[in-house]
């Protein structure tokens, strides 16, 4: 299957691959060419007569399993949860700048102004009311995931993927329901660390792909980052970072100060449980969580002493036992992805059950809770790619509810429909 990248000289934006239209372009003519290129790519997967940045994004979209004929999956959003998440997000600090430079003039213009987080989740969608209502039909709404992995090629998602301001014109969008729109977006960075914290997007008709709009969005980002420099103080250096992965892992390894330290299962159980109780645990309480027979405090103290010899100073405190330095875990990464509504990010991090050989009561509870939360997010998203990933893995291989949901999400004419239906029937027979 050809994957050759088209030369950027074929870009309608001249020497800039990020610009969609030149001032003298015939917009209707460009629209026809891009529509033809999109159809050619989708139907025959051959080289497409589009800008290189768009072609590369189409490849990523296709490889992520995005269906070009479907709207972006709806994401069930708890409004209070979204409000809390937005209020705590650094993009909230620059809303006044965005409102002053973009939103204030967008009313009754057919333009939409959107702000995303660093993962492509739409935090605020503002501007022309009628345009917002039309965009909501393709789930371009607050709380929805418009990352490339979920929505295919689009300005905010692609800007985050390539870390650059970009314009997407009409049929350059990977999903056909977005072909009536054009958009310009640029990533926003933490001025101290350089990390991407979100994106600012302007969406509307073809004129949004004009060169001057790209300049406007870039200027808005520059003003926003200048504001962040004052609003966000530089982060103080953190204590030495430690990390341990416990999902699907029988013998975890603690990584600290660049060294890999193999852990016995009991030590991994202690670290996981201390991570669940940041306020700390008494020896008695930790013994209850570690063993159904309730370990005595002498045994717990001995285990803690051995763990400290392995982990070194400055990680575990006493009276009560607690973590005194940051501990990064894959459990935390799964939860963080779920908190921001990123189901695919959660599946990326969810490599299996928590410490699969452990029978510690506290670990068993955590294992069940995390499994239930990931499964609920997959089922609630009604995302066919997420359901495909879940049912393909050991956690969901025999999950009848998930298989039925996957079948319901498929087009009966899809080649996968018969395969999934056969699996549903097989599980049904197996379960009687």
| pLDDT tens column, 61-75 | 998 889 999 887 776
Q: 8-231 has which CATH code?
A: 3.30.450.40
* pLDDT(4) > 50: no
Per-residue pLDDT tens over the stretch 45-100? 766 688 989 999 999 999 888 999 988 777 666 678 888 899 999 999 999 999 99
Q: What pLDDT, on a 0 to 100 scale, did the predictor assign at position 98?
A: 95
Burial of 293 (0-12, 13-18, 19+ CB in 10 A): exposed
Closest C-alpha among 207, 180, 164 to residue 25: 207
What separation in angstroms does the CA of 123 have from each of 19, 29, 146, 392?
25, 35, 11, 31
**Angle of helix 265-276 versus helix 283-290 axis, rounded to 10:** 120
* Low-confidence winner among 193-202, 219-228, 281-290, 423-432 (lowest mean pLDDT): 423-432
Band the pLDDT of 236: cuts 50, 70, 90. Answer: low
Per-residue pLDDT tens over the stretch 344-361? 999 999 999 999 999 999
Task: Give the torsion sign (CA, 35, 38, 43, 49).
Answer: positive
User: Where in the chain are the domains?
Assistant: 8-231, 245-381, 383-432
β-bridge partners, 115 = 124, 200
Q: Do 320 and 282 touch, CB atoms closer than 8 A?
A: yes
Across 389-418, average pLDDT: 88
Q: Model-level pTM? A: 0.60
For the chain, give the mean pLDDT.
88
Band the pLDDT of 102: cuts 50, 70, 90. Answer: very high
Per-residue pLDDT tens over the stretch 140-174? 999 999 999 999 999 999 999 999 999 999 999 99
């Amino acid at each position: 299957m050809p994957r050759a990248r088209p030369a950027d000289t074929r870009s309608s934006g001249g020497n800039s691959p990020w610009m969609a239209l030149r001032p003298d372009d015939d917009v209707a003519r460009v629209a026809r060419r891009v529509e033809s290129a999109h159809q050619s790519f989708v139907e025959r997967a051959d080289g497409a007569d589009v800008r290189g940045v768009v072609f590369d994004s189409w490849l990523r979209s296709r490889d992520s399993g995005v269906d070009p004929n479907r709207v972006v999956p709806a994401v069930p959003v708890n409004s209070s949860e979204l409000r809390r998440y937005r209020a705590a997000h650094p993009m909230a600090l620059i809303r006044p700048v965005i409102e002053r430079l973009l939103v204030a003039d967008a009313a009754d213009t057919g333009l939409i102004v959107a702000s995303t987080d660093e993962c492509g989740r739409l935090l605020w969608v503002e501007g022309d009311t009628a345009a917002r209502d039309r965009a909501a039909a393709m789930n371009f709404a607050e709380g929805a995931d418009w990352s490339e992995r979920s929505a295919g090629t689009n300005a905010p998602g692609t800007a985050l993927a390539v870390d650059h301001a970009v314009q997407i014109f009409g049929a350059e969008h990977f999903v056909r329901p977005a072909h009536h729109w054009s958009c310009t977006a640029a990533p926003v960075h933490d001025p101290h660390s350089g990390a991407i914290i979100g994106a600012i997007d302007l969406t509307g008709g073809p004129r949004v792909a004009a060169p001057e709009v790209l300049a406007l969005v870039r200027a808005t980002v520059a003003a926003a980052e200048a504001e962040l420099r004052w609003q966000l103080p530089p982060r103080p250096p953190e204590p030495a970072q430690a990390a341990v992965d416990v999902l699907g892992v029988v013998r975890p390894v603690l990584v600290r100060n660049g060294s890999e330290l193999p852990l016995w299962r009991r030590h991994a159980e202690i670290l996981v449980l201390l991570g669940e109780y940041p306020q700390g645990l008494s020896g008695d309480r930790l013994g209850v969580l570690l063993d159904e027979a309730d370990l005595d405090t002498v045994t717990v103290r001995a285990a803690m002493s051995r763990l400290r010899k392995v982990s070194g100073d400055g990680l575990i405190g006493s009276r009560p036992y607690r973590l005194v330095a940051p501990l990064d875990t894959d459990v935390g990464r799964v939860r963080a992805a779920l908190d921001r509504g990123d189901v695919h990010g959660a599946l990326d991090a969810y490599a299996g059950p928590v410490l699969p050989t452990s029978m510690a009561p506290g670990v068993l509870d955590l294992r069940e809770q995390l499994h239930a939360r990931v499964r609920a997010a997959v089922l609630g998203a009604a995302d066919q790619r997420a359901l495909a990933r879940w049912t393909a893995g050991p956690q969901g291989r025999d999950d009848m509810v998930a298989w039925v949901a996957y079948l319901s999400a498929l087009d009966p004419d899809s080649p996968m429909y018969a395969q999934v239906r056969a699996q549903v029937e097989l599980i049904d027979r197996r379960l009687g």
